[in-house]
Amino acid sequence: MTLASGTLVSLSYQEETTLRGSPEAVADMQALRTTGRALNLQKNTLKSEEVRSDRQNATLRHGFNQVVGSPGWELSLTAYNDFMQAAMSGTWAAVATDAAQTISAVGTGTSSVWTRSAGSFITDGFEIGMIVTAAGLDTGNNDQDSRITALTATVMTVEARDGTTVYSADTGDGDEVITATGEVCKIGTTLRTFTIERAFSDVAQYQVYNGCAINQMSLQMQPEQMVSGSFDILGMSADAMTQAPRDASVTAAATNDPMAAFEGQLSEGGAASSVVTAMNFTLNNNRSLQAVVGSRFSPDVFEGIAMITGQATVFFEDETLFNKFVNETISTLSVQMDDLNGTDFIVIGFPAIKYTGGDMDPPAQGPVPIVMPWEAQVSALTSTSMYIQKSDT
């Protein structure tokens, strides 16, 4: 008798485009890289209220069905584009100035100020923390990869992505175009669901889960660890176990190495920070399933309010960060995580956050940490509470 081995269990998925909860007619499954494969059908139970003279329960029935689980993952380029887009209810899209125009640069050390003659960086979709390039600003290193540190409609302040290369002035002549590298996804209203299959390949057993939405996405950054997270799944139904896979030729997942917490940059209030020792966040979409008469399954996945909370642990150095909590000051937070190739990256940004705490328990020796929980709100400037930028397209 062959018993299933955990090392040979895998997940694959396909986005549902016709009707939520209905697998596509043509199976085209994509492998999902995970650190865990927890995904299961759960059923409510219904008990008879009948009173019997032998004191025993008359019968038990299965009730409402739903799929739940939290597959873990380690952040890497490309591998989770579909699930991130679904968690955000947004769409990956390019961000750039609408057309070539006059943009002048004034460089000071490792930062530069770019001023446009018309239009709006805000309307174009730029956010603090994004990595951008400036075509047409060909002198003074203004064409290097740069990180946005401050932003208004007509003025963009940037710093060198590498933190060392200096800028100098460049007078625009009308052919300048600012572009955010790769693509950006922001919080939106497009609900996406997936068909997910869990395969026990060594015993040829397969189970398909339908109408699976990403209810929560979480991410953790810790020193000396891979950047890790989880996707909390909320699904409408599950098929019985079968001996045949939905797709015999599953497309392999992208093979980029996982990203590590020491490769990248965390910025608070637009300025790079070197005192953050840990950071995590959770995007909770508050999606739900609803029971109806005549079916064991919810007729749909119902959308909720996207709530984003997080926590930063920092070494205490002065009053600046702590007083943002005391004074209820709106700040910004962004984290850039670099691919092992040194060129590609993922940036996750929160344009408007408020700190909701500032707890200190000074140790007997060593640096003093502050635990600062925070919550994101929609930015009055750019109309989103979160964005993700990826260099791959």
Task: Give, rounded to a whole angstrom, the gap between the first and last alpha carbons of the chain.
Answer: 46
Q: Which residue has the tokens 């200096």?
A: 166
- The contacts of residue 360 (CB under 8 Å, 6+ apart) are 316, 368, 369, 370, 371
CATH number 2.40.30 is the correct assignment for the domain at 103-181: yes
Cα separations (Å) of 182 from 66, 80, 325, 363, 368? Answer: 37, 15, 34, 44, 39
Phi-psi group of 147: left, alpha or beta (phi > 0 → left; psi -120 to 50 → alpha; rest → beta): beta
pLDDT for position 376:
98
Cα separations (Å) of 175 from 37, 130, 138, 281? Answer: 51, 22, 10, 40
pLDDT for position 182:
95
Length of the chain: 393
**Looking at the DSSP assignment, which residues form a beta bridge with residue 158?**
112, 148
pLDDT for position 23:
92
pLDDT for position 259:
92
Question: How far is it, in rounded angstroms, from Cα 83 to Cα 8?
Answer: 22
The DSSP 8-state label assigned to residue 200 in this structure reads: E
Q: Residue ranges of the alpha helices (H) in the chain?
A: 81-88, 121-124, 319-326
- Blockwise average pLDDT, block size 10, the chain, 393 residues: 89 94 94 94 91 91 94 94 97 89 91 92 94 89 91 94 89 91 96 97 95 97 90 96 95 93 82 84 97 92 97 91 95 92 93 96 93 96 95 85
C-alpha closest to that of 262 among 224, 229, 228: 224
pLDDT for position 219:
96
Phi-psi group of 255: left, alpha or beta (phi > 0 → left; psi -120 to 50 → alpha; rest → beta): alpha
Strand ranges across the sheet with 177-180: 103-108, 111-116, 155-160, 146-151, 131-135, 177-180
pLDDT for position 140:
85
What residue segments make up the domains of the chain, in order of their start? 9-42+63-92+187-245+255-390, 103-181
Question: How far is it, in rounded angstroms, from Cα 144 to Cα 304?
Answer: 41
For the CA atoms of the chain, what is the radius of gyration?
A: 24
Q: Which residue has the tokens 């660890």?
A: 225
